[in-house]
Amino acid sequence: MEWLDYTVLRVIWWALLGVLLIGFAVTDGFDMGVAALLPLVAKTETEKRLAINTIGPVWEGNQVWLILGGGAIFAAWPALYAVSFSGFYFAMFIALVALILRPVAFKFRSKRECPKWRAAWDVALWIGGLVPALIFGVAVGNVLLGVPFYFDDNLRPFYTGTLWGLLNPFALATGVLSVLMLTVHGALWLGLKATGPVRARAAHYARWASLGVALVFIGLGVIVHQVLPGYVITSDIVTDGPSNPLLKTVAVMDGGWTQNFVTYPLMWIAPIAGVVGILVARVSLAMHVDWLAFIGSKVSIFGIIATVGLTMFPMILPSSIDPKASLTVWDASSSELTLGIMLGATVLFLPIILAYTAWVFKVLFGRVTEEYVEKNADTLY
Amino acid sequence: MIDSGLVDLSRLQFAMTAMYHFLFVPLTLGLSFMIAIMESVYVMTNRQVWRDMTVFWGKLFGINFAVGVATGIVMEFQFGTNWAYYSHYVGDIFGAPLAIEGLMAFFLEATFIGLFFFGWDKLTKVGHLVVTWLVALGSNFSALWILVANGWMNFPVGSEFNPDTMRMEVTDFWAVIFNPVAQAKFVHTVSAGYVTGAMFVLGISAYYLLRQRDVEFAKRSMTIAASFGLASALSVVVLGDESGYSVSENQKMKMAAMEGMYETLPAPASFTLIGLPNEETRTVDYAIHVPYVLGLIATRSLDEEVPGILELVEHAVVRIENGLIAYDALEALKADRANAVARARFDAHKEDLGYALLLKQYVEDPRTATPELVAQAAWDTVPPVAPLFWTFRLMVALGFLFIAIFAYAFWLVARRQHTAHRWFLWTCLLSIPLPWVAAELGWFVAEFGRQPWVIDSVLPTFLAVSSLSYGAVLTTLIGFVVIYSTLAVIEVGLLRKTILAGPYHTPQPPKDSTSGEFAPAYGK
């Protein structure tokens, strides 16, 4: 396989990073969305249990996309893993706390009848859905702005920002987009799986929030392309050189984030998918075609995340205080051998994972009703 | 220079979160297999009580699994948050097994666990049994890949330092997978998990028998636990991971420290059963020796020497001196990547680069270190002897105790005398926490014994931390302690509630209770 050289492997792993993030957002995204919407769509105890049990049997498997994403970043983009996780230290800690609360909230909530007990775990579930969605969105916004880090000559990373620095208006707006996107996705899942008032309230929410997704996405797109400066490599680009971020130079320039779309107009497919997907979802919702609405939302998530990646390519994590330290596809990856082995493992296992996940979803096909959750109070969440 | 307070706090946070995580892992490993065995019996015999056993022990499994998953997420992310230089330095090798763990094992386990709990009425009997086995298989594969990663920290094979990227890179991935230390650790660790699961089921069954309730349920559970537990307890001791201790310098040092063995012993070395290690005089006082045993377990031979601490420290001095040559060549390479002479010099000595880095604890530039500092750094390669000596012995003693308990339980259940002795049932009940104690002691021996290295002979622990402030790590450490303590209290409370409620908390005797032996259990 001559063609599978270091350059191609790096591009494949850049794409796979996107696949994992998108996989996480379209699967665990609806779990987080449902949890974040819980206070809004479910009023009575049975309604809450109904909403929770639409995701009850699948959230655990969906969450592995996140864990696999973490592992894949560690294995394929170790510099990205090291700089971003230690740099966003407190944001990561808060996200971790939320992610700790989620599994136990699912499991523990149903173990006691006491209303106060259950109300407390409802809050935990809500935090576990909302907070990671917000933090991951805020993180993406900061990556687009550039992150304050540098390396010493041993490639030890240093981060000079603060938690409050992450909460700038632009990043908060990307955080809002992330929350809207995932809650709409969760609401459409409820449209597909729930019944009665829960389903009606979710549909009502999705009708308005889906328009919010489209508007905020387009607005942020205009800001990124017209206002934000972008990061561009100014030295000769070596695509198969050693993964050492200090061997290049980078400039911050106006319009830097629009270059790719000018050079490769085909890339417009991504933002168009982001907008069209969510509009298809909105129309399908009005026409009561629940499955198409859910698919529209998936397409939209795919388009939105792909837009971010394509906007930045080949940048992965730009540095605002020392642009030449920015991590790019060409100098932040693992070795050629590791990328090759990991690709082999992915090609082998990912189809198997997709096959059994599809089978599990098929077994669980059908709506969750109030009678069903009331009849199975002992065995369900 | 790196703040040693930051290093200590980071280590404390890692140790705390890792040891806490490992409260849940062994029970998951052990219970998943026992539940799969119980359900297999159900499918084969079609007797309801076996399904009740699967459901009840499965319920406890689920409570435990939830916290295991939650704390596992922290484990995966904190290499990046708190050990950023480590992540950069060895991510090329260490990240791969973690990612493959997700692909091959955790996806399997987590996807099917939903069906295990919610699929009873959606699947055929055999279909559900397959799901249960896949969950058990997934959790055990998970352990395999995590221990491949951990084994590499203790014996970093198949990799070398690349001066162009300033990090370790993989050269032979098969060597990483079939690392003898990793293989030994895997077998030892999963066996320890099976012992934990078996003792848990044995102890709780003993409790029901003591209270004379749910007797049929408890007897059958006890039978499974006794058989599974005896096999596991034997394997955990026989397949102890000592076999991995002769393969490398640091592993030898770890063993010498565990034995308090300062002088090299002539072959075949004797085993110090007990004694008082004295770090001042570098001897073990009042030692009782068992001839031949150490030589046998450490080298699997009668004619190989087991090196002592003093000899290993002398080796370390030589390796530091070689490492300084590599360090010097690396600095020249950083200034001029085309310097062929420096590259050749670096390649000749790169194996020992890590030893030069030990000096960074004392001086910014290791090349300026005095011979006294070199000697001091060489002694740094000796982990604290007394803690290792004691924890190792306590762990081994517990291992033999488990064999005794399970052997006697097996003898009783084989003769259908489950309830012959109340004192024995009490022993089983009170022994429930002991496998956890043994497992945590084992991790302590393995990882504290690895110090001062985070990657044996490659990267000293103090260099591996993220460049964070002391206050930042202290804040998160306190945060984790608060959350984890709260969860522990809730988890134990829920387990207790579920156990006290018992398998038939809405009293309904098993549908197939044709045998009259059930009646007395409820009658009493």
Of A86, A101, A364, the CB nearest to B84: A86
Contacts of B230 (CB under 8 A, 6+ apart): B403, B406, B407, B409, B410
Of B123-127, B256-260, B355-359, the poorest mean pLDDT is in: B256-260
Residues 319-358 of A with CB under 8 A from B: 334-335, 337-338, 341-342, 345-346, 349-350, 353, 356-357
pLDDT, average across residues A34-38: 96
CA distances from A374 to A103, A121, A172, B120 (A): 22, 19, 40, 17
Domain region containing A183: 6-375
Using alpha carbons only, give the angle A11, A325, A24 rounded to the nearest 5 degrees.
45
Does the beta carbon of A378 lie under 8 angstroms from any beta carbon of chain B?
A: yes
Check residue B241 and give its pLDDT: 59
Query: 């007395």: which residue's tokens?
Result: B520
> What pLDDT digit, counting tens, does each position of B273-332 carry?
777 777 777 777 777 777 777 776 666 666 777 788 899 999 999 999 999 999 999 999
Per-residue DSSP letters for A246-267? GGS-EEEEETGGGHHHHH-GGG
Residue with the two structure tokens 């979802």 = A281
pLDDT in tens, B148-188: 999 999 999 999 999 999 999 999 999 999 998 898 899 99
DSSP state of B302: S
Beta bridge partners of B167: B162
Q: Is B387 exposed, middle or buried (0-12, 13-18, 19+ CB in 10 A)?
A: middle
What is residue B286's predicted lDDT score, i.e. its pLDDT? 76
Q: Cβ contact (<8 Å) for A85 and B87?
A: yes
B contact test, residue of A10, A49, A111 with most B CBs within 10 A: A111
**Cβ separation A380–B100 shorter than 8 A:** no
Domain boundaries along the sequence of chain B: 4-247+386-523
Using the beta-carbon criterion (under 8 Å), do B466 and A334 form an inter-chain contact? no
Residue B283 bridge partners (DSSP): B278
How do residues A70-109 score in pLDDT, each as one tens digit?
Answer: 999 999 999 999 999 999 999 999 999 999 999 999 988 9
On the question of pLDDT at B22 being above 60, the answer is: yes
Residue A380 domain flag: no
β-bridge partners, A250? A233
CA distance B193 to B146: 14
Q: Do A64 and B467 touch (CB under 8 A)?
A: no
Which chain A residues are Cβ-neighbours of B466 within 8 angstroms?
Answer: 82, 86, 89, 157
- Mean pLDDT estimate for chain B: 89
Among candidates A72, A74, A334 on the partner chain, residue whose Cβ is nearest the Cβ of B80: A74
The DSSP bridge pattern shows strands B283-290 and B271-278 to be antiparallel
Nearest to A61 among B84, B99, B114 (CB): B114
What is d(CA B440, CA B185) in angstroms, rounded to the nearest whole number? 14
What local confidence, expressed as pLDDT, does residue B109 receive?
A: 93
> Closest Cα partner for A368 from A204, A203, A192, A122?
A192
How does A39-57 read in b/e, with b if 16+ C-beta sit within 10 Å? eebbeeebbbbbbbbbbbb
Please say if the pLDDT value at position B506 is more than 60: no
- By Cβ distance, the residue of A61, A108, A157 closest to B84 is A157
- Taking CB atoms and an 8 Å limit, are A81 and B79 in contact across chains? yes
Domain total in chain A? 1
Lowest mean pLDDT among A179-183, B64-68, B230-234: B64-68
- Give CA–CA dist A304/A298, Å, rounded: 10
| pLDDT at B245 (0 to 100) | 62
Task: Identify whether A381 is part of a domain.
Answer: no
Contact B487 A103 (CB under 8 A): no
pLDDT tens digits for B338-349? 999 999 999 999
Residue B523 banded pLDDT, cuts 50, 70, 90: very low
Interchain pair B102, A379: CB under 8 A: no
For position B247, what pLDDT does the model report?
Answer: 59
DSSP H helices, B46-124, are: 48-82, 84-100, 107-118
Q: Is A75 on the interface with B (CB under 8 A)?
A: yes
pLDDT tier at B522, thresholds 50, 70, 90: very low
3-state secondary structure of B276: strand
What does the longest C-alpha to C-alpha distance in chain A come to?
A: 67
Residue B169 contacts residue B159 (beta carbons within 8 Å): yes
Is the CA virtual torsion B168, B171, B177, B183 positive or negative?
A: negative
Measured in degrees and rounded to the nearest 5, phi and psi for residue B363 equal: -135, 150
CB B110 within 8 A of CB B62: no
Q: Does A244 touch chain B (CB under 8 A)?
A: yes
- pLDDT for res B265: 76
What ipTM was assigned to the predicted interfaces of this complex? 0.93
Any B CB within 8 A of A263 CB: no
Q: Give the pLDDT band (50/70/90) at residue A242.
A: very high
Looking at chain A, how many residues does it have?
A: 381
Helix, strand or coil for residue B290? strand
Residue A156 confidence (pLDDT) above 50: yes
The answer to the question of residue A20 being in a domain is: yes
**Of the listed ranges A283-297, A365-379, B130-144, B225-239, the one predicted with least confidence:** A365-379
Whether residues A364 and B66 touch (CB distance < 8 A) is answered with no
Q: What is the pLDDT of residues B208-226, one digit of tens each?
A: 999 999 999 999 999 999 9
Instruction: Give the least confident one: A305-314, A370-379, B80-89, B351-360.
Output: A370-379
Q: Taking a C-beta distance cutoff of 8 angstroms, is the pair B229, B194 a contact?
A: yes
Using a CB-CB cut-off of 8 Å, the residues of chain B touching A157 are 84-85, 88, 466-467
Size of interface A-B (CB pairs under 8 A): 246
